[in-house]
Structure 1
Amino acid sequence: MQASDDPGDLHLATVVVNVQDMRRAVDFWCAALGYRQREAEMDPRFVMLVHPDGARLPVSLQLSDAPSREPVRVHVDLYTSEQDRHVERLVGLDASRVTDWPYPEDPDFVVLRDPDGNEFCVIDHAEL
């Protein structure tokens, strides 16, 4: 590997989700993941959400003037060994099911949309 090909300290540090209603998005993603705002004061344009113990990758929310467009190019996958429970819980938090997804025969995932219309999947997958 050449020095120019070496990724060095480059790494994935956060996932950024574009939203139109910052307060609604903060409330949804904090409740969905058990995260909290990193800063005490909410910036109306950008908020980073962190796991209380710092054990998980942070999620950042960025205010957008435009709604989510399809087809999406990137989405978030959430892994759990309790897929049915979490899908129902997330729908109760105002996520919506994507019923017209071209699911394979025996999918291990369920596609949802957050309140801003951003797609994410809940994957049936135990902790490793």
Structure 2
Amino acid sequence: MVSVVQNVAIDCADAYELARFWSGVTGRPLHPEDEPGEPETQVMLAEGPILHFNQVPEPKTIKNRIHLCLRPETSRDREVERLLSLGAAFVADHRNPDGSGWVVLADPEGNEFCVLRSESDRAAAHP
């Protein structure tokens, strides 16, 4: 017997607004019954677990111990620019001169996530 991951839960101050940000990141809709002010909101991913946003009273105070890593459909650098325009904040640059590496961003509530190289970025590096 095994357990199946149902969702990835993200504690936050404003579940609906943070879910709207991640809906923009992933291009996937919010749960159809979710509305502003809801203490729990979900982003319905096409595959895999749901992103579940749970409103909590305490603020984020330290670095995440678990985070999402995104592999964009476009180039990593274009995706970083798009995510910054959605409201992400730049945290750290781990890109290497050979094109490998990743960029660390944070969502509007400070939760860090990584943007990896796209498949096309990786293919271009290894023709």
Tell me if both proteins adopt one fold, taking TM over 0.5 as the criterion.
Answer: yes
**Alignment partner, residue 60 of structure 2:** 68
Give the corresponding residue for 2:106.
113
| Higher helix proportion (structure 1 or 2) | 2
Runs of at least 5 residues in structure 2 that lack an aligned partner in the other structure: 121-127
State the shift of 1:19 in Å.
Answer: 1.2
Aligned residues: 116
Work out whether residues 96 and 112 of structure 1, in 8 Å CA contact, stay in contact via their aligned partners in 2.
Answer: yes
**Partner of 2:71 in structure 1?**
79
Secondary structure of the 2:119 match is coil
2:83 corresponds to: 90
- For the 8 Å contact 1:67–1:117, the answer to whether it is kept is no
**Alignment check: 8 A CA contact 2:18 2:109 kept:** yes
Identity in percent: 25
- Whether the 8 Å CA contact 1:38–1:50 is kept in 2: the answer is yes
SS in 2 for 1:98: strand
Taking structure 2 as the reference length, the TM-score comes to 0.78
1:23 paired with 2:22, answer: no
Normalization by structure 1: what TM-score? 0.77
Taking the aligned partners of 2:62 and 2:106, their CA distance within structure 1 comes to: 12
Superposed CA offset, 1:104-128 (max 9, x none) = 856521100000110111111428x
Q: Check if 1:32 corresponds to 2:47.
A: no
RMSD, aligned CA:
2.2
